[in-house]
C-alpha cells in the first residue's frame, strides 16, 4: 500500500514539473514564437531601426506582417516605437533592455541551426540519388 502512495506522489511531482515546463515554454512561444519575431529582433540588434530597413533585412516579410509583429514586440516590452514630429515624420524602432534577455536563446538557436543545416547537408550527400538506382 505504501509503494502505491510513493508512486502517486512521484507521478504528481512529475506531472507538476511537466506542467511548469510546458507553461514556461508556452509563455516563451507566445512572446517570441512564430517565424518573424526573433528575426526582427536580430535585424534590429544589428542596427536596423526604420521600418523599411527592417523589412529589407528580414527577407520575405510583408509590410502588413512586419507591422503586426512590431506591435506585438512592443506590447511584450522588447521594443519601443519612437515618432519624431517634423517634416517628414520620422519613425524608428528601438530595442529595449529587456530584448537583451534573448541573447542566450538566440545564441543557442544559432548554434543548433548551423548544426542542423550541416546534418541535413551531410545526409543529403550520403544518400544515393534516385537517378543512380
pLDDT score at 91: 93
Tell me the CATH number for domain 35-125.
1.10.10.10
pLDDT band at 8, cuts 50/70/90?
low
User: pLDDT digit string (tens) for 38-63?
Assistant: 999 999 999 999 999 999 999 999 99
Identify the CA nearest to 73 among candidates 96, 45, 91.
96
Identify the CA nearest to 59 among candidates 39, 73, 41.
39
pLDDT at 133 over 90: no
Distance CA 129, CA 125 (A): 9
Greater confidence (96 vs 11) lies with: 96
CA quadruple 124, 130, 132, 133: dihedral positive or negative?
A: positive
Mean pLDDT for all residues in the chain? 90
User: pLDDT digit string (tens) for 69-94?
Assistant: 999 999 999 999 999 988 888 999 99
Number of neighbours of residue 57 by Cβ within 10 angstroms? 16
Identify the CA nearest to 78 among candidates 96, 102, 93.
96
pTM, full prediction: 0.78
Domain boundaries, the chain: 1-32, 35-125
* Percentage helix, strand, coil for the chain under 3-state DSSP, each rounded to 5: 70, 10, 20
Amino acid at each position: 500500500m505504501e509503494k502505491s502512495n510513493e508512486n502517486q506522489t512521484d507521478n504528481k511531482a512529475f506531472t507538476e514539473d511537466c506542467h511548469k515546463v510546458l507553461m514556461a515554454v508556452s509563455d516563451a512561444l507566445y512572446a517570441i514564437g512564430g517565424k518573424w519575431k526573433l528575426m526582427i529582433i536580430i535585424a534590429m540588434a544589428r542596427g536596423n531601426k526604420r521600418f523599411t530597413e527592417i523589412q529589407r533585412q528580414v527577407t520575405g516579410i510583408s509590410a502588413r506582417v512586419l507591422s503586426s509583429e512590431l506591435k506585438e514586440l512592443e506590447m511584450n516590452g522588447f521594443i519601443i516605437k519612437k515618432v519624431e514630429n517634423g517634416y517628414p515624420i520620422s519613425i524608428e524602432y528601438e530595442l529595449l533592455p529587456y530584448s537583451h534577455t534573448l541573447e542566450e536563446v538566440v545564441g543557442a538557436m544559432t548554434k543548433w541551426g548551423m548544426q542542423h543545416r550541416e546534418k541535413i547537408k551531410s545526409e543529403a550527400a550520403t544518400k544515393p540519388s534516385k537517378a543512380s538506382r
